[in-house]
A = this chain, B = another copy of it.
């Protein structure tokens, strides 16, 4: 009742790391068992299927993401400071691990692979877009954004920017990415101000 949760947590930690570095699909039960020093069958018993393991990993990632990116941003003052906090937290998040942001890579990976895993990932993406919209709305409330702006458009604009950062920084290894992203963000905020 206790031990099981502990090992499950350790498995998901190692699994998330592996999924981030390689990809969600290449988290192999055998490989993961080796890393966690368990037997394949012992590890497998925790999830009953690879699909469940993958969903477990993404759920685990979602909890960490909320804890490290979204919630801390909500601590910042509503409005532009909160937007900037969110962006910085996101950049820290995607920079922390070798492969970049697990949500970006996994949603790319599972686009045309129907099933429970893809559905779960899409739900998470929609929840993320919802966070962006909410933050825009609170920026309107405190007067940092104009009243008549389109919050959906803001979510699109900001997420696009983050995706650009992600590819430039994590994949192409461009050194001046942070600078480019700063310029683009300032222009974006000016437009909603």
A161 closest partner in B (C-beta): B160
Majority secondary structure of chain A interface residues (helix, strand, loop or mixed): helix
Q: Which of A82-106 contact B (CB under 8 A)?
A: 98-100, 104-105
| Cβ–Cβ contact B170 & A160, under 8 A | no
| Cβ–Cβ contact A104 & B108, under 8 A | yes
Partner of A160, one of B100, B108, B129, B184: B184
Instruction: Judge whether A7 is part of the interface by a CB distance below 8 angstroms.
Output: no
Interface size on A, residues (CB 8 A): 44
A180 closest partner in B (C-beta): B156
Complex: A153 Cα to B23 Cα, angstroms:
30
| Cβ–Cβ contact B180 & A168, under 8 A | no
Query: Chain B residues near A165 (CB, 8 Å)?
Result: 160
Partner of A111, one of B152, B156, B161, B171: B171
| Cβ–Cβ contact A100 & B111, under 8 A | yes
Query: Chain B residues near A191 (CB, 8 Å)?
Result: 187
Instruction: Judge whether A183 is part of the interface by a CB distance below 8 angstroms.
Output: yes
Query: Chain B residues near A181 (CB, 8 Å)?
Result: 156
Chain A contacts to B: CB under 8 angstroms: 21-23, 25-26, 98-100, 104-105, 107-109, 111-113, 122, 125-126, 129, 150, 152-153, 156-157, 159-161, 163-165, 167-168, 170-172, 176-177, 180-181, 183-184, 187, 191
Interface pairs (17), CB distance under 8 Å: A22-B113, A98-B112, A99-B111, A107-B172, A108-B108, A108-B167, A122-B171, A126-B172, A153-B183, A156-B168, A156-B184, A157-B184, A160-B160, A160-B161, A160-B165, A161-B164, A163-B164
Q: Which 9 A-B pairs have the closest CB atoms?
A: A160-B164, A163-B163, A156-B180, A99-B112, A111-B171, A108-B108, A160-B160, A98-B112, A105-B108
